[in-house]
Amino acid sequence: MLPPRELGVNVDHVATLRAQRGTPYPDPVAAALLAAEAGADNITVHLREDRRHIQEYDVRRLLELLEIPLNLEMSLDPGIVSFALASAPARCCLVPERREERTTEGGLDLARDEARLRDALERLSTAGIAVSLFIDPEPEAVERAAVLRPRAVEIHTGRYANAADEKTRALALAEIASAARRAAEAGLEVHAGHGLHYRNVEPLLAAVPLIGACNIGHAVVARALFVGFPEAVREMRALVCPGPRPEPAA
Ligand code: PXP
């Protein structure tokens, strides 16, 4: 049976705009609350080591005010892991981080960081946090993730999103489909994210129905400039989760 589909909305880039001028606005927490009201199933923020957009106080306020799960994207930096353990979001997604990158440009190096990942995964899971690992759609990465047994893998969809021609896009889709199949066989939830937008998300989900959650940021924040945050989220949710919203369990 296919998993229920979720839309996670990443509000980092509301904070990017705030950081651009050092103003108190626009507030990523206000955007997250609007997104939740418009139907987002969870909110993602990336507390980066350089604090270039989201700050600790944003995470604290989100945890106080949000009624849907918060997914904290984070590196293995010991200070960030301690912060996650102390604040206990419902979910976290472990990602690689390089200071000079514009955004998260690839999945985790599971071979190099295996011991640190195992340690963080155990500590975060023991604290009741559902952990996902951000991985490239490559067989070795999926096999290594399967051994570590997180709750989920989030498959990096950058190669698909950035494909310059149909052939490259088809190859990228096939890689994602095969990674998703293997992860699901290993009992892991399958999430996807990076570079997804209003035109490429439906073909991805049609080709890889095993994807249970899409985490999307840049495209939603960009669309919100023209139609407002609630409408941008409603439009994306209609693409990611077509059909009526299921009633919450009694
Ligand atoms: N998922 C992960 C793990 C990411 O690192 C990012 C980028 O911050 C996203 C999803 C969202 O990507 P985008 O902003 O391109 O939609």
pLDDT score at 83: 98
Annotation marks residue 143 as catalytic = no
Q: Please state whether the peptide bond connecting residue 26 to the residue before it is cis, i.e. omega within 30 degrees of 0.
A: yes
pLDDT score at 190: 98
Q: Is residue 94 within 8 Å of 131, Cβ to Cβ?
A: yes
pLDDT score at 246: 63
pLDDT score at 195: 97
Find the 8 Cα to ligand 1 centroid distance in Å.
Answer: 10
pLDDT score at 249: 60
Bridge-based pairing of strands 70-74 and 189-193 is unpaired
Annotation marks residue 156 as catalytic = no
* Paired residues of 152 in beta bridges: 132, 189
Distance of alpha carbon 139 from alpha carbon 129, whole angstroms: 26
pLDDT score at 245: 66
Local confidence pLDDT in tens for the 250 residues of the chain: 777 899 999 999 999 999 999 999 999 999 999 999 999 999 999 999 999 999 999 999 999 999 999 999 999 999 999 999 999 999 999 999 987 777 777 899 999 999 999 999 999 999 999 999 999 999 999 999 999 999 999 999 999 999 999 999 999 999 999 999 999 999 999 999 999 999 999 999 999 999 999 999 999 999 999 999 999 999 999 999 997 666 666 5
Catalytic entry in 6, 73, 97, 154: 73
Question: Domains in the chain, start-ordered, CATH in brackets?
Answer: 6-133+193-240 (3.20.20.70)
Residues with CB under 6 A from ligand 1: 10, 12, 46, 73, 93, 95, 103-104, 134, 154, 193-196, 215-219
**What digits encode the pLDDT tens for the residues 90-118?**
999 999 998 777 777 789 999 999 999 99
Other CB atoms within 10 A of residue 79 CB: 10
Most ligand 1 atoms within 8 A of CB, residue of 6, 10, 45 to mutate: 10
